[in-house]
Structure 1
Amino acid sequence: MHMPADPVAAESKFLSMYMSNGHPETLIAYAKWYGKVKDGISNAEMMAIDSKSMTLTCTLESGSKKEVRVALNPPLSGYDQVTPRLLEMKAISQEGLGMIEVPKITTFRLLGVPKSNSIAVTVGITFFAAFTWYTFLAPINSTSPFFLPANIVRSYLGLRAVELGMGFIVHCHFLESLYTSSHREREESTFVSRFGSTALSEER
């Protein structure tokens, strides 16, 4: 039975030359993180790559050579997966080795709100949202003291006003989800550009 050719192995020479000449520091990270090489590495070259693994030759700081096989798990299903997989492996290995620092969110501030008032406004919005949920979900005409504030608010504003408030909150959450999704896509695009290996997908 004829086995289909490995699409990644077919481009092994080009990929090996590109990575060896342009990204030796990435290959060193692969060897250290995925290949578990503990010795100091001064240089690394990619000798071959296919859909299941890559073979690296590392020049150790002692001057000796060491061949390292790095598995691609799960295997690549096509050549178009080479770029995103190598970028992912680069990020994971360099982060794991402490070669890059992952940005961390340490503060939160609402846009357009002075820093001194940001916490108060955030607490106010949170309270408004929580109380609206509470008023909307509270049983109508309940005699429980716990739901007394909700019944008082509904008696003054009317159930329709509470429903509109609930709709406003749901709408805001929907817009927030869209913004978060678009922001994540922009960050991923920036990430790919930063570690720039778009040439991996170019034809020779």
Structure 2
Amino acid sequence: MTPVRRVEGVAVALRRDNVDTDQLLPARFLKVPRQQGYGGFLLHDLRHDAEGRPVDGMPLNDPAHAGAKVLVARRAFGVGSSREAAVYALVDFGIGAVVAASFGDIFAANAANNGLITAEVAEADIEVLLAAVATEGTAVVDLESCTVTSGRLTAPFTIDPVRRTKLLNGWDDLDLTLSHHDAVTAFVAADRIARPWAQEIPEVSGR
């Protein structure tokens, strides 16, 4: 995974609470092979009416938001089922960071494993940030300083420190474990001395 330190570019203000994973990627699209990409299905049923026509006023349908990199929403973004494909839809669409007042925990974990920043902004700031993004049309999400900026507005955000470390280094869960190699090796060596009786007993040949 490529390290992520900063995401900047076109930003979209999605003034919605409780955007769940079934909205992000409706279940019927899960049968599509991953290699075909899920970006075209992102928020499909919110972006289209029952006849499949684009919904007027839906921010992601606005040509001005083409190539969006940052999505700003309200509370409880990514709640619902644990489907990782909801993250795939955002990443395949081109979104590199989602800013919201809160996130579904499993969604945030899946996001970190796929290079997507989940920046949690205080509710006191989120409406101001939504307004700024709607006016400016761009935003910068800086993972090193943990700030999101749009125009003259800069707001701090929080993110789980382990997920932040993984994103900054481009690590998956295995890489994270390997980063503790020296500590694990030292523990094993000390444990062999402290608990020799707990070590594996070699098989005796001929038995």
TM above 0.5, one fold?
no
TM-score, normalized by length of structure 1? 0.20
TM-score, normalized by length of structure 2? 0.20
